[in-house]
Structure formats: C-alpha cells, structure tokens
Amino acid sequence: MSTLEIDHGATVSVREQLVNQLRYLIASGHYNTNDTLPSTRSLGDQLDISFHTVRKAYQELEEEGLLNSQVGSGYTVKERTPLPKSERMERGAKVVNNTLQQLVGLGLSDVEIESLFQEQATLLDHAGLERKLIAVGPHDELNRMCADQLGTALQKTVLPISLSRVERHKDADFAFSPYPHLKEVLETLSRTDTMGFSTHLSPTVLETVARLHNRETLGLVTRRQETIPPLSEELRSHTAYDGQVIAASIDREADHLQSFVRETDLLLATPASQRRLRPYLDESVHDFEELKLLVSKDSTQAIADAVPA
C-alpha cells in the first residue's frame, strides 16, 4: 500500500481507516520524519471525504506522537519514539485477536488463515516495511566492517551508526554493538532490542604479525585516522610483536603512500583503504595482508537467531 484508499461500505469508520493507513505509511517509510502531509482539504477532496474527518485523523495521530502541527505549515511527521516492546506486543495481540475472530466468522479454516497471514506478510516485505537494524560503535570504519558482515549474515540492511549519533536512531528495531559499548547503547536506546557482539582479527593476520622480528617494521594503512589506535592496540595485545608500527590514513596522507610503503616489512590495510593503496604495491617485494575486524561466529549466530526472518 503506497496510496490512501477509503472503503465507504466498510464497517470500520472512515476516520479509523484513514488513521490506520497513515500509521502504516509512516511506519513503512512512505512518509519520513519532517515530511509534510497533504492539507486536510486536498486530502479530503482526493478521497471524497470531509476535510473535518481528515483533520480529526491527523489530530489523533498528533496525540499519539506521530505528527506535529504548526499554524501555516500543516502537519509534519515527527521522529518516532517507539512504544516499549511489552506494550507493542500487547496492542498487537489485540489486533491479531480481533482479526482472527473476523476471519473465523467468515468461515475460513485454520489452514486458510495461516496461508493468508503468510501471503500478506510477503506482500508487506515487498512493500518495503522492513525492520530498522543498526550496528553501533565508536569508530566509523570498524563499525562499517561489522555492519556489512552482519548484513550479509542476516540478508538484510544493517546501518552503521556512530556511537556519538545513536540518540537520533531511537526508532531502530534492533541495535548491535561491541560488548565494551553495549551498556551505553542500552541506556540510550531503552526501547530497542539491543544485542552485543564480540570481534577479533583474523588468525592469518595475527599469525603473520606474531612471526615478525621486533627489528622489522609493521605498516598499518586505514581510511580514517581514528581507526589507527584501536587496530594498533588490538594487534599488539594479541601478538608478541613489540617492534615499530608506522601508520597512515588515506584520507589525510594519500600523497605520501609511496614512500610510506617502502619503509615497511609487512603492510596491513583495511578494506576501505586498499583501492587507494594497491597502485603503490609490488607484490613481489611487499608482504601484504588485509586487516579486517571480524564479528565472531557465535555472535553472528546469536543475532541471526534473534532477528526474525
């Protein structure tokens, strides 16, 4: 459903039909935060109903916290603050119960009802009603790595969100965060289903670094400057390497990569930096490994089990 339709022969009132459909269009992203809804008169003319009915529907949604009204500006969509999960489930159960009673009253069998629910759920998926999934972390480049991995595992879009901006995403259905930052995310997104996950560097990278002599130089290339300290700390804490680490971020030091590469005995680069780095590499001369933060298999499985298909 991407347009509003009124069934004048339905037992449900016109106002209630309009309210229910507008709730869906807002939830599914057809109307986004700060979008302005049609004026009461234009929508009334479009649907062949009274503009007073449209105004009452808008006012009901305003009381629910979905819309904001301003004189001269009409009704705009507010940033949504979801109800607590327990209240969402309770209200949803009432809707389902009422619907089931009506379907049974029409003479549908259990098998037919189940088939209808599955069919309509598929239609909703195709209409774009998707859960909002976010991965939250303090370092954007590392967080994007984790979001991409979780998105691939879930076969869904997982948005990478900076920890400093997480408060803007209280409408998320699920949030995932590394365990050291889980408590902060839980406190900020108190109404979101939030799960932690653990990460690690690949055994291949750790094995290669652990074999370096301390007199050899380890080069670390990232896209963002802020990514360097956590990766350097991770490398040193999981290997016995105590030699020199030199680092560069392509956002700030791309012009110096050629001379930088010559100074290293082993070069590690994040996925986001490799494209800019490869023109300076000679695979016959340079030892090179991709440096990627991996979400653990146990964490990925636990998250996949928790998020509905």
The answer to whether residue 9 is domain-embedded is no
Query: What is residue 198's predicted lDDT score, i.e. its pLDDT?
Result: 97
Q: Can you give the residue range of the structural domain that contains 43?
A: 14-77
Q: Any idea which of 140-149, 236-245, 249-258 has the lowest mean pLDDT? A: 249-258
31 contacts 54 by C-beta, under 8 angstroms: no
- State the virtual CA torsion across 198, 203, 206, 208 in degrees, nearest 10: -160
**Percent with pLDDT over 90 in the chain:** 44
Indicate if 60 and 93 belong to the same structural domain.
no
Query: What is residue 3's predicted lDDT score, i.e. its pLDDT?
Result: 65
Query: What is residue 163's predicted lDDT score, i.e. its pLDDT?
Result: 93
Average pLDDT of the chain, as a whole number: 86
Query: What is residue 183's predicted lDDT score, i.e. its pLDDT?
Result: 96
Q: Which two tokens stand for residue 174?
A: 């699920």
Indicate if 218 and 285 belong to the same structural domain.
yes
148 contacts 199 by C-beta, under 8 angstroms: no
Indicate if 229 and 286 belong to the same structural domain.
yes
Query: What is residue 1's predicted lDDT score, i.e. its pLDDT?
Result: 41
The answer to whether residue 8 is domain-embedded is no
The answer to whether residue 4 is domain-embedded is no
Q: Any idea which of 54-63, 242-251, 257-266 has the lowest mean pLDDT? A: 257-266
Query: What is residue 123's predicted lDDT score, i.e. its pLDDT?
Result: 61
Q: Which of 209, 217, 232 is nearest to 265 (CA)?
A: 217
The CATH number of residue 239's host domain is 3.40.50
Query: What is residue 6's predicted lDDT score, i.e. its pLDDT?
Result: 86
Interval 247-268 mean pLDDT: 78
What is the pTM (predicted TM-score) of this model? Answer: 0.58
- DSSP bridge pairs for 266: 218, 287
Burial class (CB in 10 A: 0-12, 13-18, 19+), 182: middle
The CATH number of residue 65's host domain is 1.10.10.10
If one counts the domains in the chain, the total is: 4
Token pair 């069919």: residue: 119
The answer to whether residue 102 is domain-embedded is yes
Indicate if 91 and 166 belong to the same structural domain.
no
Task: Enumerate residues 6+ apart whose C-beta is below 8 A from 233.
Answer: none
Query: What is residue 170's predicted lDDT score, i.e. its pLDDT?
Result: 87
The answer to whether residue 1 is domain-embedded is no
Binned at pLDDT 50, 70 and 90, residue 280 comes out as confident
DSSP characters for 51-76? HHHHHHHHHHHHHTTSEEEETTTEEE
Indicate if 208 and 280 belong to the same structural domain.
yes
Indicate if 163 and 302 belong to the same structural domain.
yes
The answer to whether residue 156 is domain-embedded is yes
Indicate if 168 and 302 belong to the same structural domain.
yes
Q: What is the three-class DSSP state of 166?
A: helix
Question: Helices marked H in the chain — which ranges?
Answer: 14-27, 40-47, 51-63, 85-105, 110-127, 140-154, 182-188, 203-210, 228-237, 250-253, 257-262, 271-277, 297-306
Q: What is the three-class DSSP state of 47?
A: helix
Indicate if 96 and 122 belong to the same structural domain.
yes
Indicate if 223 and 267 belong to the same structural domain.
yes
Segment of 91-95, 110-114, 258-262, 266-270 carrying the highest mean pLDDT: 266-270
Q: Any idea which of 23-37, 57-71, 275-289 has the lowest mean pLDDT? A: 275-289
CA distance linking residue 225 with residue 196, whole number of Å: 25
Interval 209-233 mean pLDDT: 93
- The tens digit of pLDDT for each residue in 26-50 reads 877 778 788 889 889 888 888 889 9
Interval 11-40 mean pLDDT: 86
Indicate if 173 and 211 belong to the same structural domain.
no
- The tens digit of pLDDT for each residue in 95-127 reads 888 888 888 888 988 888 888 887 777 666 555
- The tens digit of pLDDT for each residue in 137-184 reads 999 999 999 999 999 999 888 999 999 989 888 888 999 999 999 999
The answer to whether residue 2 is domain-embedded is no
The answer to whether residue 160 is domain-embedded is yes
Burial class (CB in 10 A: 0-12, 13-18, 19+), 147: buried
pLDDT greater than 60 at residue 284: no
176 contacts 134 by C-beta, under 8 angstroms: yes
Indicate if 227 and 250 belong to the same structural domain.
yes
Indicate if 106 and 216 belong to the same structural domain.
no
pLDDT greater than 60 at residue 15: yes
Q: Which two tokens stand for residue 108?
A: 């549908």
Select from 35, 59, 77 the last residue of a domain.
77
Query: What is residue 283's predicted lDDT score, i.e. its pLDDT?
Result: 59
Query: What is residue 264's predicted lDDT score, i.e. its pLDDT?
Result: 87
